[in-house]
A and B are shown apart, each in its own frame.
Chain A
Amino acid sequence: MRTPPLIACHECDLLQREVALAPGATARCPRCAAVLYRNTPDGLDRTLAYTLGAAALFVVANSFPIVGLDAQGIRSSTTLWGTVQALRHDDMTSVAALVFITTILMPAVNIGALLYMLLPLKLGRVPRGLPAVFRLVDAVRPWGMVEVFMLGTLVALTKLAALASVVLGIALWSFAALMFLVAAAAASFDSRALWARVEALR
């Protein structure tokens, strides 16, 4: 048997040999306790399934109103894009851009890039430009903030409940579910399995 490959801890740079893991187990750095890698059974298939679900929910979450207000007969409601527009209308372009990037653009890029890599790999071929797309996923991950937006919506609703009756939209529920699917996709994504699959196909 050949010697197991070397790996370096990404947080303290300790050089070590890879060890085989039982399914579901996690390897941690012995020096700084950073998570080195996991052995997620069917990791790629799970990520693909979560991401497909997330893509469908993302469309719903962006197509329908998130919340509505009913104040003595005057109604108003907003979609996510509507909040971006409202901020821009008030000359808050930078804040509008921040909201757009963190709640619409980055989650969309994340979901799209994962599907672009995982669907062809599932069907047995390596998509073009896979390395660049892989790096893209790595770069956009911290900037998708669906779960933070969810909590922000909750706080906003609490403030509004005092002055009008609040109507919860379909998109709000979609967002809540999307939050879990995006997190599950990120947690199950196994980059080592991805590269092993690419190697096997080449």
Chain B
Amino acid sequence: MSAVTAADAGILACHACGLVHQPSGAAHDLACARCGARLHFRKPDSLARTWALLIASYVLIVPANLLPVMETGSLFGSEKDTILSGIIFLWTSGSWPLAVIVFIASIAVPFSKLLALTYLLVSVQRRSTFAPRERTRLYRVLEIVGRWSMIDIYVAAILTALVQFGGLMSIKAGPGAIAFGAVVVLTMFAAEAFDPRLIWDQKEAKHG
């Protein structure tokens, strides 16, 4: 199959509105004629930026899971909940469907997103030609599911606002929530920085 990519033909497509441009010569700092977005053949420094954001996420996912995301103070002392202990509470209190949802959103999704992005980066850097269609689909999925990890942040926010009964009982968000929120935001930026077209560039090994 001799597929011609736009980059092969010297054509740039606007990432915002899709209009294609054929710049004459080696022009820099081009802007889309229709919507004004900056034009690039590939997202600039895609691999380096994605790695940087990804490594930061690997670092932060540790405190995100070890530090409490919620602190409950009541007459009977205080109790600190990490993400995992919150899930266990949901499970043992009988609402196992929610426990499953929160487990997927808060633990399965962030960890598998980190691993999947790492795999995509390594495979692109090793110029892999393995299953590009499937790898593109993997990218598409991880771009969509990342946002759902925010559930725990919203749970902490609502509980903090509602459960303020003075000395009787009060809930506040813990430091784990800061780290966890940072992981969600960083991995979203990381997915956005990665350019799936790099997966396909290896076919011809021209743009490496």
Question: Is A86 a contact partner of B157 (Cβ separation < 8 A)?
Answer: yes
Count of residues in A whose CB is under 8 Å from the partner chain = 63
The reply on B93 being an interface residue by CB < 8 A is yes
Contact of B161 among A10, A82, A159 (CB under 8 A): A82
B155 touches A134 (CB 8 A): no
**Number of residues from B at the complex interface, CB < 8 A:** 68
A165 within 8 A of B: no
Q: Which residues of A contact B13 (CB under 8 A)?
A: 7-8, 10, 13
Chain B CB within 8 A of A1 CB:
no
- B157 contacts A135, C-beta separation under 8 Å: no
Counting CB contacts under 8 A, is A200 at the interface? no
Q: Which of B50-58, B111-119, B165-173 contacts A (4 or more CB under 8 A)?
A: B165-173
Q: Are B37 and A156 in contact (CB under 8 A)?
A: no
Question: What is the distance, in angstroms, from B77's C-beta to the closest C-beta of chain A?
Answer: 16
> B136 near A94 (CB under 8 angstroms)?
no
The residue in chain A whose Cβ has the minimal distance to the Cβ of B158 is A156
- Kindly state whether residue B35 has any CB partner on chain A within 8 Å: yes
In the complex, B199 has a CB within 8 A of chain A: yes
CA distance in complex: A82, B95 (Å): 27
Cβ of A102 within 8 Å of any chain B Cβ, yes or no, is yes
Tell me, yes or no, whether A59 is within 8 Å of chain B by CB: no
Nearest A residue (CB) for B136: A32
Contacts of B32 in A (CB 8 A): 131
Q: Does A151 contact B18, Cβ atoms closer than 8 Å?
A: no
Tell me if B101 is interfacial: C-beta within 8 Å of chain A: yes
Please tell me if the beta carbons of A138 and B16 are within 8 angstroms of each other in the complex: yes
Supply 19 further A-B pairs (C-beta < 8 A) apart from A32-B200, A195-B17: A7-B18, A8-B20, A12-B136, A12-B196, A12-B197, A12-B200, A32-B136, A33-B133, A76-B165, A83-B157, A90-B160, A95-B153, A98-B153, A131-B32, A138-B16, A145-B150, A156-B162, A160-B163, A195-B19
Interface residues of A (CB under 8 A from B): 5-8, 10-15, 31-34, 37, 66-69, 71, 74, 76-78, 82-87, 90, 92, 94-96, 98-99, 102-103, 131-132, 134-135, 138, 142-143, 145, 148-149, 151-156, 158-160, 162-163, 191-192, 195
Could you pull out 10 A-B pairs where Cβ atoms are within 8 angstroms? Answer: A31-B3, A34-B140, A69-B163, A76-B164, A94-B178, A94-B181, A135-B35, A152-B153, A154-B98, A192-B18
